[in-house]
Structure 1
């Protein structure tokens, strides 16, 4: 029996990163990958993939490299904000397309040639630059001759012409905001990796991570061997602004942790642990409590203050919106709960008896294209034909569940008063019986098997528009194989080779589990002409989140990878220097 005291919550680690934005209602593209190691983490989001292995050395630095200086995070709460690289998703895709050898036989225009010659800085030749040409029915590469500025419509045909990044520039942007953390708490999580690639400013997406140490009894103290961890990873896919996702980064994990603490305390008074249903209810209560604060309590405060300045400060998180995907791992029971509000997705990777990985979706995309969500919406709003119109709520919002998006939740009277007295978006002409959108998540529970090397990937919809569940899991498996190959002479390499093997192609079984019928498919593969063949995949990054985003490049993506395992128990969270970019200054906006 485990008891939780009133003061049982102690924050030991928090890392927050501003995320990516979504265009046309989808601004966030995020991924979390968590890895579990054999004896340490049961596990799981991402924005996640989690992996289990049994060796405490499974991700230690290579012995052949000079020793690295790991900087311990010693504070009781750690916050790390990574600067954001702003790069067009189209330009980013163009760089990848061009440098994977996609040459075109079509001339771009009078100013272009179809060769792929590059400028010789030492010679007198006319400088040339690679460009991407985007038309209504074509996508091809070419070479721009000359050193003048490249106009968007430089070829005079109506096509858009964009200068492509060099391979070095593309890699620099991919790695600019990567980070990796070694979690040496002896509770099952070994490592998590994160990377961001943004395409707009300000970024509308976010993510947050936190480890909460829980006392195992009413007399338990921080650092007690019998204590255990609650670990949280969240991906927040913002749209129509960044303020909602920023609010979730700041508050959601704390609110959910408080609800869980209350639930566990109530059960401990009866000498028991809470039921699974009670834990799920606590998570849902935390989501709904925060959304009520964002959408309704903010309006009450605005009306009370009668100040436009107060309205500007308070209504931002209500007027914009955000999906939320939260993974909660209880190290005492090796149970992972995934709470999904919106269309981000969590996929679990697990080793099968064949030695390959299998992909299992732990969440369902909640959109107007999901038959289950459509049925729910029509049942809640009978007789309203346009409750889902063209796959969107009232014809406008694609996610059917979200934080904020108050124009789908306020009554018409409230919307009109705010618009008249302060400012606000107008309500939909089809709005009759709000609220139409809810922040209540769907919670799934998974028992993690550390001894099988489980990992979890949490990602916003951008990743899943580029890669299938199986491809993502296979890419993580391939990355693991590559680590074993590079470290074949070390104890770590021998362990990984023994556990995970190596071979050609993606080490993943076919799509036996394609997930619920409402799951999105990687539509961008067809739109951008990407080859479904595994030949287009590469392994060249130390950060596995960067590895995923490199292979999915084509949208606004943020990825995080979390590894679970039995690392050295020092109680510290260490920055993994070889997979982390140097911190860069960035302007901060006040929320």
Structure 2
């Protein structure tokens, strides 16, 4: 949150990147994607949220391919000339500065819920309900998400649908994370569909390999395809449109649930995080980490990079790979292209100027980061025990740890499941505690826990911003882009309650 994804010094180059990230975000169209098998249409929900505005949800119904997906509509015809000239006599006071009132607690609740959603799963199939929410700091928001059901990719019609939940944390722009909401799952569906069963069974290892292959293939299409784009006969504007998802970057966390085997497949590229919460026999909540942050501070990642580039000892410094914090990402062509292509893209197509060659003099060719995910599989118990999944971008994890998040959702879940009427909101405001920001000041503490929200994802975000400390929460939400980036990051959270954890 408080450390930038890309380490940079104030400069004209940095200003170019910031303005590049402010390009207005196109609305997601209710467009379509091809479906690997017949049967019911795929229903997905894609999410975006722009700071200061309501979030948008776009349902996608898969029928036929549409190459114009995500393209802004044609501009409307110009209006006729206005005859009413604006009156400027009463803009504001002439002897004092008029400012709007400070954000209220009610305003905060409205903003936290503006990008929220909740779905009860009618046919159950191992899932009772899931909640989600998103609060932006960047403008446009660089986070994105996907959730919904899709046809079983391993069996023909009649098999139970799978479900998917994903969060994508963009940096240096929203273009890559936005693209992943539309493209990543179709790539994964295709590679899973192409698997050949062994004695009628597809192993977890084969599924994991297919998911990883889809991640790499999509990133190759973005990054390695850049050379074909610039050498094509496309118009210059069309080339720029196709190159931008390779200029920007994004972490990705995709989870797939197969109800027929109760298998949860988790694929992580970067530092989004998935945590499983489950109630133990003594009534306590246990946090099971399903992912590990893939950054320049991860010893396993450092060892992997140094083994790959044994003659380049300066690659990883200060927890970063040539200034980039995550060690696995989509896009980020500047860390993946060879020198010749990178120079041409910068010279002719305004490619991202990072990593800075003047600062990182030992930078050679790479690619130094990869989109290849770490994929794992866990069996979700179907014995009636209480189990839930939390997946979130690092904006949440900058404010709390795995166990704290699980405890917050677990206690919230217990309150929701209590017999009788739903509990009244708990508004135990903390008094006398100063407002502090930064990793130590805003780090969640149990003494600030509050349970006033009906959506589990909103509940986590509120507690990450200060919880019951009303002034801290309102203070954090008062800052708008770009000042807000020093206080809070984009925050995207989904919480999935599996069967046995009955939420009303």
1:343 to 263, 266, 271: 271
- Following the alignment from structure 1 to structure 2, what is the Cα–Cα distance between the partners of residues 192 and 447? 18
- Is 1:415 the equivalent of 2:346? no
The 3 A distance-change label for structure 1 pair 424 and 271 is same
Q: CA deviation at 1:185?
A: 2.2
Deviation sequence 1:481-509 (CA, Å, 0-9, x none): 22134xx237xx8xx9xxxxxxxx9xxxx
Deviation sequence 1:10-32 (CA, Å, 0-9, x none): 444211101579xxxxxxxxxxx
Q: CA deviation at 1:530?
A: 5.1
Deviation sequence 1:67-96 (CA, Å, 0-9, x none): xxxxxx99678xxxxxxxxxxxxxxxxxxx
2:193 to 261, 268, 271: 261
Consecutive unaligned residues of structure 1, counting only runs of 5 or more, are 22-72, 78-145, 151-161, 497-504, 506-522, 569-575, 579-591
Q: CA deviation at 1:184?
A: 0.8
Counterpart in the other structure of 1:48 = none
Q: How does 1:157-556 map to 2 (within 5 A)?
A: 164-214=102-152, 218=156, 221=157, 224=158, 227-263=159-195, 266-267=196-197, 271-305=199-233, 307-394=235-322, 396-426=323-353, 428-429=356-357, 430-450=362-382, 451-485=384-418, 488-489=419-420, 526-528=439-441, 532=445, 534-553=446-465, 555=488, 556=490
Alignment length (residue pairs): 394
Q: Is the 8 A contact 1:337 1:443 kept in 2?
A: yes
Q: Is the 8 A contact 2:49 2:134 kept in 1?
A: yes
Instruction: Give secondary structure in 1 for the equivalent of 2:276.
Output: strand
Instruction: Give secondary structure in 1 for the equivalent of 2:400.
Output: coil
- Is 1:148 the equivalent of 2:79? no
- Is 1:18 the equivalent of 2:81? no
TM-score by structure 1 length?
Answer: 0.62
Consecutive unaligned residues of structure 2, counting only runs of 5 or more, are 1-34, 52-58, 64-94, 429-435, 466-475, 477-487
- Following the alignment from structure 1 to structure 2, what is the Cα–Cα distance between the partners of residues 176 and 489? 29
- Following the alignment from structure 1 to structure 2, what is the Cα–Cα distance between the partners of residues 480 and 283? 32
Deviation sequence 1:341-379 (CA, Å, 0-9, x none): 000111000111111110011001000111111111111
The 3 A distance-change label for structure 1 pair 245 and 217 is closer
Q: CA deviation at 1:283?
A: 0.3
Q: How does 1:118-133 map to 2 (within 5 A)?
A: none
Instruction: Give secondary structure in 2 for the equivalent of 1:286.
Output: helix
The 3 A distance-change label for structure 1 pair 381 and 179 is same
- Is 1:563 the equivalent of 2:484? no
Deviation sequence 1:463-489 (CA, Å, 0-9, x none): 11111111110111111122134xx23
Q: Between 299-308 and 281-290, report the one with greater CA deviation.
A: 299-308
Deviation sequence 1:432-461 (CA, Å, 0-9, x none): 131001000001111111321211100111
Instruction: Give secondary structure in 1 for the equivalent of 2:120.
Output: strand
- Following the alignment from structure 1 to structure 2, what is the Cα–Cα distance between the partners of residues 11 and 245? 24
TM-score by structure 2 length?
Answer: 0.72
Instruction: Give secondary structure in 2 for the equivalent of 1:201.
Output: coil
- Following the alignment from structure 1 to structure 2, what is the Cα–Cα distance between the partners of residues 74 and 202? 22
